[in-house]
Structure 1
Amino acid sequence: MCVRYRFNKRVRLSNSEHYHSVFQKAHCVNSLYLTILSRENFLGSPRLGLAVPKKEIGNAVDRNNFKRLARESFRKNQHKLPNKDFVVIAKRHFQKLSNNETFLVFNKLWSRLFLFSLG
């Protein structure tokens, strides 16, 4: 049986207040390629926000590719994640990764966030 996970409005950070609350008191996990900030929410499901600075990734095609991969990774892992707001921030070195390598990096960071929420 195939379970479908969606990326709808309910799981998105939708305005600047949501982003600011995550940036104020965030738990942070890093890699060379991206950073994920997280903060507890009381909504019953995880939510995702994306920050892809032009200064880090100047090409619009690469920025959009990063967003697409981040949303897909979140969509596939949201059932494992704690009820937190997440902001994914791209770093310059992301452009060196293939799509499969990007998913491996995301999976590693999601796992670290999950383990942190347990302990």
Structure 2
Amino acid sequence: MSKLAYPRELRLLTPEHFNTVFQQPHRAGSSHLTILARKNTLDHARLGQAVPKKQIKLAVDRNRFKRQVRESFRLRQHDLPAKDYVVIAKKSANDLSNEELRTLLDKLWLRLSRPPRKR
């Protein structure tokens, strides 16, 4: 299997997986999207996405957003710590170009790779 593949094992698939991440997550966000992260017991990172119709109306725009997030994750998966990540889109995410979205995602992945600050 290719080193940069995106197989089923790297996805959050069930509501239980998502609910685990939603409980006490480490957050990184901007005005366009939020990424929640929570340690998992596996040796690799996994990705889930929440792109509601209420936030991004057209299916073609939701799919573009999800495609860009998947590609960004696929390229960075080996640099990320073993956590489950959920990317949540906000309304303004639709205003970003593909390049702006990739740049923003790279910045947020980097922020989530660092250990969380103590409160």
- TM-score bracket, shorter-length normalisation: over 0.9
Q: 2:95 & 2:22 partners in 1: Cα distance?
A: 27
In the alignment, structure 1 segments of 5+ residues that lack a partner are: none
Equivalences for residues 1-119 of structure 1 within 5 A: 4-116=3-115
* Aligned partner letter, 2:67: R
Using the TM superposition, give the Cα deviation of residue 118 of structure 1 relative to its aligned residue in structure 2, in angstroms: 9.6
Using the TM superposition, give the Cα deviation of residue 116 of structure 1 relative to its aligned residue in structure 2, in angstroms: 2.7
In the alignment, structure 2 segments of 5+ residues that lack a partner are: none
* Aligned partner letter, 1:112: R
Question: Hey, which bits of structure 1, 4+ residues long, moved more than 3 A?
Answer: none
State the identity as a percent.
Answer: 50
CA-atom RMSD in angstroms: 1.6
Asked if the contact 1:82–1:117 (Cα under 8 Å) also holds between the matched residues in 2, the reply is: no
Q: What SS class does the counterpart of residue 54 from structure 1 fall into?
A: coil
Asked if the contact 2:45–2:82 (Cα under 8 Å) also holds between the matched residues in 1, the reply is: yes
Tell me the TM-score normalized by structure 1. 0.93
Tell me the TM-score normalized by structure 2. 0.93
How many residues are matched? Answer: 117
Q: 1:98 & 1:4 partners in 2: Cα distance?
A: 28
